[in-house]
Amino acid sequence: MKFVHIADMHFDRPFVNLSDKDILGNLRRLEQRKIFKKVIDYIKENKIEYFLISGDLYEHKYVKQSTIEYINNLFKEIPKTKIYIAPGNHDPYLKNSYYHKFEWCDNVKIFHSKIEKIETDKIDIYGYGFDDFYCYNSGIDELQIENKEKINILITHASLDGGYDDEKNYNNISSKKLKEKGFDYVALGHIHKPDYHTSENQKIVYPGSTAALGFDEPGKHGMIIGDLKKEELKLQFIPLDEECFTKKEIDVTSIISKEELIEKINNFEGKKNEYIEIVLIGNRNFEINKYDLLKYISNVRILKIKDETKIAYDLEKIKNETTLKGLFVKEMIKELAKENIGQEEKEVLEKAIEIGLEALE
């Protein structure tokens, strides 16, 4: 069987960092449509039999009916392809969801919160979908394959081996137990980084987000193409997203004013297909307010500024001065040295030192 596997499309995502920059939020949503159209065109041109969508196809809180109609009209272009959707935590199968109230075309199967098996002569497809924004027990741990002579596929939205408390809320599954079940392919969603070749003969696969959704998603994004026989699995990753999110560093150590920094950022050259986050590093010689800086940035591709700079002052030297500055720094260093101080509180104190020293100049 030949299949295409995608996940985490997140149609109608707000793109907060993009929307503040002219029309880039809207443009990114249009790019999502273009990328999804590429998937459908590939399926059509290559006569793909199965299309597996492992959750978060859209954002339940924001999706418009026109977007759902756009998706469904594309599904109608591949009537001979069987489409299986396992809703995730961003597009759960709720009573007021489009999965429940919209009339999807005949080749679409949407799984619910009860594990269901779809049978054909040679293939059994098991599926589970979220019915809420969280999933604590899908029942997959107890699932047993009924006919191991056939090709067996599982499609779901899940977190493998979730070590953090928040990940345990999103259908946390043990990879060891999942391997023991003997599926010929497990089509997962939820993790936005592709994972399909990190182990030999890998059958448990994340395609990653089909389109990059932010600066925490660098690298290539696209779809998994599979050719599956009972004893053989061939996988290929095809990149689809022509845009990318990148981080670029600027060392501020030798920059002496806000105006000079703004000029340097505005003169920064990036590629046409890049969304850029500027990361400021080094020792700063003046107060930096990243939100204020953004107001003066004319390069529309620069969407975010992150401040990782440190104070340029020699605090140990200043605290020994018999001046008001020395007394101020000495008291502030005492505050910084207190036990159990949090990172946020530490950053506030460091900023207070900086502002205080500038005022005492």
pLDDT at 56 over 80: yes
| φ, ψ for residue 192, nearest 5 deg | -85, 0
pLDDT (tens digit, 9 = 90+) per residue, 259-275? 999 999 998 887 888 88
Three-state SS letters, 305-344: EEECCEECCCHHHHCCCCCHHHHHHHHHHHHHCCCCCCHH
| Average pLDDT value for residue range 331-356 | 86
What is the Cα–Cα distance from 249 to 222, expressed in whole angstroms? Answer: 27
Nearest to 57 by CA among 181, 207, 160: 207
pLDDT (tens digit, 9 = 90+) per residue, 5-39? 999 999 999 887 665 565 778 888 999 999 999 99
In this prediction, residue 350 carries a pLDDT of 82
Tokens 């936005």 map to which residue?
192
Q: Count the neighbouring beta carbons within 10 Å of the beta carbon of residue 278.
A: 24
Query: What dihedral angle (degrees, nearest 10) is formed by the CA atoms of 309, 312, 313, 316?
Result: 70
pTM of the predicted protein model: 0.85
In this prediction, residue 179 carries a pLDDT of 95
Instruction: Give 299 or 53, the one with higher predicted confidence.
Output: 53
| Average pLDDT value for residue range 53-69 | 97
Query: What dihedral angle (degrees, nearest 10) is formed by the CA atoms of 49, 53, 59, 61?
Result: 100
pLDDT at 355 over 90: no
Question: CATH for 2-239, among 3.40.190.10, 3.30.300.90, 3.40.50.1220, 3.60.21.10?
Answer: 3.60.21.10
In this prediction, residue 22 carries a pLDDT of 57
What is the Cα–Cα distance from 163 to 145, expressed in whole angstroms? Answer: 27
Instruction: List the chain domain ranges.
Output: 2-239, 244-359
Q: Count the neighbouring beta carbons within 10 Å of the beta carbon of residue 348.
A: 12
pLDDT (tens digit, 9 = 90+) per residue, 183-201? 999 999 999 999 999 888 8
Q: Residue 314's pLDDT band (boundaries 50, 70, 90)? A: confident
pLDDT (tens digit, 9 = 90+) per residue, 98-155? 999 999 999 999 999 999 999 988 999 999 999 999 999 899 999 999 999 999 999 9
Q: Please state, for a pLDDT cut of 90, what percent of the chain lies above it.
A: 69
Instruction: Give 349 or 60, the one with higher predicted confidence.
Output: 60
Residues in the chain: 361
- Quote the tokens at residue 312: 């340029």
- HSE-CB of 102 using CA atoms within 13 angstroms: 21
